[in-house]
Chains A and B, each alone.
Chain A
Amino acid sequence: AQKVTQAQTEISVVEKEDVTLDCVYETRDTTYYLFWYKQPPSGELVFLIRRNSFDEQNEISGRYSWNFQKSTSSFNFTITASQVVDSAVYFCALSENNTDKLIFGTGTRLQVFP
């Protein structure tokens, strides 16, 4: 069965600190996709990244980076030099190949203080 665990319920940091949001997943499939979404205080869900299970290269996009490790079933998200605008709830999600369902973790609320 598919499962996504985001053990960190809430993280607070001061601006310019680096912060890592953890995501651990469970799947029996060898082909699957992992996602991160951001939900700012305004409430909408913003797509950040999609990664398939065959691509373990780390990805960097500006201050955002993602570390995908199949050996530990983790897909962690790091924000470098955090800013107040990064304050949001971040969701990790998993979809197995040949399914029509996206399974979300419970989210991590990140608060960045000035």
Chain B
Amino acid sequence: NAGVTQTPKFRILKIGQSMTLQCTQDMNHNYMYWYRQDPGMGLKLIYYSVGAGITDKGEVPNGYNVSRSTTEDFPLRLELAAPSQTSVYFCASSYYRAVDTQYFGPGTRLTVL
């Protein structure tokens, strides 16, 4: 099992560009999450999904969009990138709700200049 995989590992964007961060899990988990980690801070939830076709906002959803067409994939879309979106992005998955253990991907380091 690869667990949770994320691509790309690093990316530099110019202000106003868009991109999609990819996340795939092979553990047949129902729940998937996107977090961002700013320097010196904990992780903040952007969006999450409780199953294919169902997504919901977390604490910091502005500037992002998600979709969940399959159990395995949960891409995060950044539209009109801004410097405030410079961060490390983590995808995670769990079998059941947030009370279940979440397993994290390796992260994507994004810089917006």
Chain A residues within 8 Å of B, Cβ to Cβ: 4, 9, 32-33, 35, 37, 43-45, 47, 50, 52, 91, 93, 95-102, 104-107
Name B67-113 residues within 8 Å CB distance of A: 88, 90, 92, 97-99, 101-107, 109
Residue of A nearest to B42 (CB): A104
Contact of A107 (CB < 8 Å), options: B42, B56, B90, B109: B42
If A43-B88, A47-B101 touch, does A100 touch B50 (CB 8 Å cutoff)? Answer: yes
* Number of B residues, CB within 8 Å of A: 27
Chain B residues within 8 Å of A, Cβ to Cβ: 31, 33, 40-45, 48, 50, 56, 58-59, 88, 90, 92, 97-99, 101-107, 109
In the complex, are the beta carbons of A44 and B98 less than 8 A apart?
no
Contact of B31 (CB < 8 Å), options: A45, A47, A100, A105: A100
In the complex, are the beta carbons of A43 and B107 less than 8 A apart?
yes
Residue of B nearest to A10 (CB): B40
A45 to B105, CA, bound (A): 8
A43 to chain B, nearest CB (A): 5
Contact of A101 (CB < 8 Å), options: B41, B42, B45, B101: B45
Beyond A100-B97, A102-B102, A104-B43, 12 extra complex contacts between A and B, CB < 8 Å: A32-B99, A43-B107, A45-B43, A47-B101, A50-B101, A95-B97, A96-B99, A99-B98, A101-B48, A101-B58, A106-B40, A107-B40
